[in-house]
Amino acid sequence: MVRRRVPLGTDEKLFRSMHRRMLDGPRPAPPWERLDPAGVPDALRERVRRGWAARVEAEYRSMVVFGELIARFPEAGLPLEVSCAASRLLQDEARHTELCARVAEAFGGYDEATLAPGHLRLVDDALPAHLFVARWTASMFCVGEAASVGLLGVLRDGATDPCVASVIDTLLRDEVLHDRFGWALARVVFPRLTDDEREWLGADLAFAFAHYDQMNAGCLRPDGGEVPAAPETPEDPGAVALGIASRWRFAPAFYRRIDEVILPSFAALGVPAYEAWALRHEAVAREP
């Protein structure tokens, strides 16, 4: 199974100029000249590089998912406005991929940012378009994007490097819109489902919860209640300054988003999310 590197860069001028026009827009350019990887100790530099390389892969993966979703919107009968608005989100994920790649590159590269073939093509022909769209709206938007607003807030609070802070500002600003977009899409898509389909969506959601709990918070709160106290080793302030956080810093923000936004919003739309959340340990983490 050949994994594909995240492909960035083209010699074709037209693509380059359209891409720049769409991606740069009104956002401030990060002060790249103020990023100073040479002044960072080797071990920390590698940790920062790995963290940002993982984001390159995740952001590109988001772009792939949005593209696949948009492709099925007409079949699911969604209004033209939804496709048009979603195309802006696809550009945002391209912007995030590029920004994370530039940070990773400064710290030594992102060769390991690759996608398996199964992650480049999501279409499941056994699933009708309305269920395909419902599944990915629930997992990618209503869990993934809704959680990422909280996680980026944690990164933004800690990032003191001016360039990294500016990159995270852009990611966060875009993700706030993606979160809103996701719930708007959910309000259009979920009420069209039958009761049985909403039950199916709830069962499916347990897999997404298992994945995001593992990925964002290392399942630090298995039975509800409080997140346990962090281990003795304090977070390296140098890593925090450069936009890296451990699961111990992410976990409280992740569970807050789950409790305050994600579960109640799903429930208000008739999706049995509390049950899915309780069942997530029985679901094998299936990567959305």
Residues binding Fe ion (CB under 5 A): 59, 93, 96, 145, 178
- Complex with Fe ion: residue 47 or 178, whichever CB lies closer: 178
CB of residue 175 to Fe ion, shortest distance in Å: 5
- Complex with Fe ion: residue 59 or 68, whichever CB lies closer: 59
Neighbours of 167 (CB within 10 A): 26
- The position carrying tokens 């340990």 is 281
CB of residue 281 to Fe ion, shortest distance in Å: 27
Q: How far apart are CA 286 and CA 205, in angstroms?
A: 10
- b/e per residue 67-90 (b: at least 16 CB within 10 A): bbbbebbeebebeeebeeebeebb
- Complex with Fe ion: residue 122 or 193, whichever CB lies closer: 122
- Complex with Fe ion: residue 59 or 213, whichever CB lies closer: 59
Q: How far apart are CA 59 and CA 175, in angstroms?
A: 11
What are the E-state strand segments in 194-284? none
Q: What single DSSP character describes residue 186?
A: H
CB of residue 174 to Fe ion, shortest distance in Å: 6
CB of residue 96 to Fe ion, shortest distance in Å: 4
- Complex with Fe ion: residue 189 or 193, whichever CB lies closer: 189
- Complex with Fe ion: residue 63 or 106, whichever CB lies closer: 63
Q: What is the CA radius of gyration of the chain?
A: 19
CB of residue 62 to Fe ion, shortest distance in Å: 5
Phi, psi of 185 (to 5 degrees): -65, -40
- Listed in sequence order, the residues at least 6 apart from 223 whose beta carbon sits closer than 8 Å to its beta carbon are none
CB of residue 93 to Fe ion, shortest distance in Å: 5
C-alpha triplet 170, 258, 160: angle, nearest 5°: 35
